[in-house]
Amino acid sequence: MLLVMTREHKPTFCRICEPLCGMIATVEAGRLIELRPDRDHPVSAGFACQKGIAFAEVVNDPDRVTTPLRRGADGHFSPVSWDEAMTDIARRLAAIHRAHGPGAVGWYFGNPGAFSYSHTLSLNMFMAGVGPRMHLFTAGSQDVNNRFVASQLLYGTPLALPVPDVLRTDLLVVIGANPVVSHGSVLTQPRIKDRMHDIVKRGGRVLVIDPRKTETAAQFEWLGIVPDGDAYLLLSLLQVMFAENLADRASLSRQADGVDWLSQLARPFSPEATAARTGIDPDTVRNLARDLVRTPRAAVYGRVGTSTGENGTLTTYLLDAVNLVAGNLDAPGGAMFGRYGLPGERWLNKAGAALLRGVYFRRRSRIGGFPSVLGSEPAGVMAKEITTPGRGQVKALFVSAGNPVLSVPNGDELESALAQLDLMVGIDLYVNETLAHCDYVLPVTSMYERDDFPLPFQTLQPTPFRQATEAVIAPVGQARAEWEIIDDLAQRLWRLTPGLAMQAFMRKMLGVFGVRLSPRLLVDALIRLGEGGDRFGLRRGGLSFARLTGSYPHGKVLAANLRAGVLRDVVVYRGRRVRLRHDEISGEVDKLARRSVPDGYPMRLIGMREARSENSWMHNSPLLMRGERTQHARMHVDDAAAADIADGDVVRIASVSGEIELPVIVTKDIVAGVVAVPHGWGHKGTAGWRLANRAGGANVNKLMSSHPDDIERLAGMARLTGVPVRVVRAEPAS
């Protein structure tokens, strides 16, 4: 008999990181056998990185969770049926909800969750059903929540996020980001490295301000900075712009209120006054300020390095303020705003912003009293929310698409807190270090087993672009999409919980009319109503989910560039001008003068990302781990020599909070006094991913503090950079 193997090549896109590169998935007999870059994708045009290509190994990983698992008394996981798992989970959750209310329920939503519209939307619906005091923790408090708060202060809405127009700029100043490795963040620009080289080719400059001469800095210009010195540098740039009258005051006052206030705020921070804090020569700062104003198309851009210091909200506010004062906000080649193009978008933005601002100002976390950023509280206090008795103590925790034991400050504290939970459920591809503590781990579809439309990234693209995809293969094993799991859980919970009967009734009623509130319905409506959408038939040839996947499988460019001059539509404040004056900001500036360092910790710890890692979760891919990869610290040759440390030695890095040991690479490509350690390592071998466990490494977040005093006030951001540490050679094994 002749067995005919059909082999299909399906266009789709990668959702590991933010450029969302176009991919061709080769599917044979229902199996994903290969991923390769899509040459017909209009923006990524045949580019994909090693992680994207290696993802086929994740999909087919023998260590992947493919059935629901229950942890037995001996700590080992064994398979159970979906119904058995969901029945027990719902019963226990309902009992906890009944006894302690919604405040006893917590959910940690990790980074890959943001790359699935249906995961995000269904979780929001679930939380609305459980009740307003349910706890939500996200990776955002280790990443980007400060960006939302800075935008809320400046523009009145947390959702107005400026992106550098890399396609048209002639001076790009990258502060605390490493796009050659990270591929860009809060910026959806495939082939970002090529686009940065284009800037240089057309006679422009790319300047990288970073404590480490990163892979990006090595290809462009590098200016070293003392970790967490950015707020001082940015204040000095403003000071020079105002003192030298470089700023166009007339146009500034059309765009913003509080310009004089800002100029007063920056006044004490001359480049001479801040040089010791930044390590940057005053003339260099002056010239940079002048260049930013005088180069017609210039932008400063910051990311994780400027978000995770002591004053991340201030620093991000200042990045935008520098763009504004230099005349580069909302201008071609500057920092620009993408728009989604919904009818009545400004009105919707205003309503949404009012809601989110209300939540921010009214809701405070039980531990530490932190404001709620987009409905979430700092993951840094999650452990204490679990261990501190009283109303609102978390007793049931769900973790979807996250590994907080390795990603939030003080992983040890969190690990021991998890042991106290009455119910813990993980929804993941793997039994990671966090999920090893679960009662149940539920198998989930990978991105290629679900449809998608990357909703949160639509306004972050210098080339406005739309792409949607259907699943390219059926779910592996018994995996289910998050939204199906959440929907099933909701139905069971509503049935078991009398207080939530109203939700159950609403569902039924909608069901009678044939309406299933599926995330797909919602996202389709958003595509149809947005820019380029078919407006439900009103615009012929317009887009819908089906039309995107059917007629534009490689995606569709909506416009070559972002539109400038939209600031008045983006800002929701009455008067439509950027609001610079905030007590919160002057309060943070006051704190700069009070910064202190504990004795005995002379070095500063920073983070770094690696091309063949994705946070904690791709260390089980043989392709990415080839060459016996392990985790290394990086330190300067002079510091190493002074401490009698040689390249390859194991060093002990200690902070006030903890210590770790790992081998070191000695280099000149880092500012003296700084040590860099990648996060996402520290895999350990009880369950789960075998290759990752063998690679081991150390959890750098053992060195980070989860004390509420060490968490940034305005956005609840963990302090993950500039952390005072001591580095010594670990005693050689005897």
Q: Can you give the binding site for ligand SF4, defined by CB under 6 A?
A: 14, 16-17, 19-21, 48-49, 51-52, 183
For residue 351, what are the CA distances in angstroms to 134, 216, 376, 725?
Answer: 23, 40, 19, 45
Tell me how far apart the alpha carbons of residues 473 and 469 are, in angstroms, rounded to a whole number: 11
Q: Name the region of 520 (left: φ>0; alpha: ψ -120 to 50; beta: rest).
A: alpha
Cβ(170)–Cβ(204) below 8 Å:
yes
The first and second tokens of residue 583, run together, are 């007590």
Torsion of CA 83, 88, 93, 99, to 10 degrees: 140
181 binds ligand MGD (CB under 6 A): yes
CB of 139 to ligand SF4, least distance (A): 16
720 binds ligand MGD (CB under 6 A): yes
Tell me how far apart the alpha carbons of residues 614 and 476 are, in angstroms, rounded to a whole number: 22
Q: Output the residue with the shortest Cβ distance to ligand MGD.
A: 305
Closer of 211 and 338 to ligand MGD (Cβ): 211
Question: Longest Cα pair distance anywhere in the chain, in angstroms?
Answer: 85
Closer of 181 and 273 to ligand MGD (Cβ): 181
Cβ(455)–Cβ(89) below 8 Å:
no
Size of the site for ligand MGD (CB under 6 A): 64
In this chain, which of 150, 241, 429, 476 binds ligand MGD, going by CB under 6 A?
Answer: 429
680 binds ligand MGD (CB under 6 A): yes
Using CB under 5 A, which of the segments 137-145, 337-345, 408-416, 448-456 binds Mo ion?
137-145
679 binds ligand MGD (CB under 6 A): yes
Among 339, 413, 49, 64, smallest CA distance to 215 is for 49
Tell me how far apart the alpha carbons of residues 113 and 376 are, in angstroms, rounded to a whole number: 14
470, with CB counted inside 10 A (0-12, 13-18, 19+), is middle
CB of 143 to Mo ion, least distance (A): 4
In this chain, which of 178, 236, 458, 621 binds ligand MGD, going by CB under 6 A?
Answer: 178
CB of 183 to ligand SF4, least distance (A): 4
In this chain, which of 503, 701, 705, 706 binds ligand MGD, going by CB under 6 A?
Answer: 701
- The type of residue at 621 is S
DSSP string covering 220-251: SEEE---TT-HHHHHHHHHHHHHHTT-S-HHH
Closer of 143 and 531 to Mo ion (Cβ): 143
Q: Are strands 298-302 and 256-257 parallel, antiparallel or unpaired?
A: unpaired
452 binds ligand MGD (CB under 6 A): no
The H-or-E segment that residue 635 falls in is strand 633-636
3-state secondary structure of 109: strand
Size of the site for Mo ion (CB under 5 A): 1
CB of 169 to ligand SF4, least distance (A): 21
For residue 44, what are the CA distances in angstroms to 35, 409, 452?
Answer: 14, 35, 18
657 binds ligand MGD (CB under 6 A): no
In this chain, which of 309, 327, 334, 462 binds ligand MGD, going by CB under 6 A?
Answer: 309
Using CB under 6 A, which of the segments 30-38, 157-165, 190-198, 429-437 binds ligand MGD?
429-437
The H-or-E segment that residue 96 falls in is helix 82-100
Closer of 170 and 452 to ligand MGD (Cβ): 452
Closer of 307 and 410 to Mo ion (Cβ): 307
176 binds ligand MGD (CB under 6 A): yes
Closer of 139 and 356 to ligand MGD (Cβ): 139
CB of 58 to Mo ion, least distance (A): 18
Using CB under 6 A, which of the segments 223-231, 272-280, 320-328, 334-342 binds ligand MGD?
223-231
Crossing angle (nearest 10°) for helices 145-155 and 345-362: 110
3-state secondary structure of 71: strand
Q: How many CB atoms lie within 10 A of CB 491?
A: 15
The 109-128 contact track toward ligand MGD, x by CB under 6 A, reads -xxx---x------------
Closer of 191 and 577 to ligand SF4 (Cβ): 191
Residue 444 partner contact from ligand SF4, ligand MGD, Mo ion, none using kind-dependent CB cut-offs of 5 to 8 Å: ligand MGD
Using CB under 6 A, which of the segments 283-291, 346-354, 591-599, 611-619 binds ligand MGD?
611-619
Residue 606 partner contact from ligand MGD, Mo ion, ligand SF4, none using kind-dependent CB cut-offs of 5 to 8 Å: ligand MGD
Tell me how far apart the alpha carbons of residues 702 and 725 are, in angstroms, rounded to a whole number: 12
CB of 597 to ligand SF4, least distance (A): 36
Residue 14 partner contact from ligand SF4, Mo ion, ligand MGD, none using kind-dependent CB cut-offs of 5 to 8 Å: ligand SF4
Buried b or exposed e, range 230-255, using 16+ CB within 10 angstroms: bbbbbbbbbbbbbeeebbeeeebeeb
Quickly tell me which residue has 């209300």 as its tokens: 358
401 binds ligand MGD (CB under 6 A): yes
143 binds Mo ion (CB under 5 A): yes
Tell me how far apart the alpha carbons of residues 500 and 640 are, in angstroms, rounded to a whole number: 61
- The type of residue at 398 is F
Closer of 683 and 713 to ligand MGD (Cβ): 683
The first and second tokens of residue 655, run together, are 């902070």
212 binds ligand MGD (CB under 6 A): yes
Q: Output the residue with the shortest Cβ distance to ligand SF4.
A: 52
CB of 229 to ligand MGD, least distance (A): 7
Cβ(554)–Cβ(467) below 8 Å:
yes
Closer of 496 and 611 to ligand MGD (Cβ): 611
CB of 139 to Mo ion, least distance (A): 6
Residue 371 partner contact from ligand MGD, Mo ion, ligand SF4, none using kind-dependent CB cut-offs of 5 to 8 Å: none
| Percent of the chain as helix, strand, coil, to the nearest 5 | 40, 20, 40
Q: Which residues bind Mo ion (CB under 5 A)?
A: 143
Q: Which residues bind ligand MGD (CB under 6 A)?
A: 17, 110-112, 116, 139, 142-143, 175-179, 181-183, 185, 209-212, 214, 225, 227-228, 230, 303-306, 309, 400-404, 407, 427-430, 432, 444, 446-447, 482, 606-611, 613-617, 679-680, 700-701, 720-722
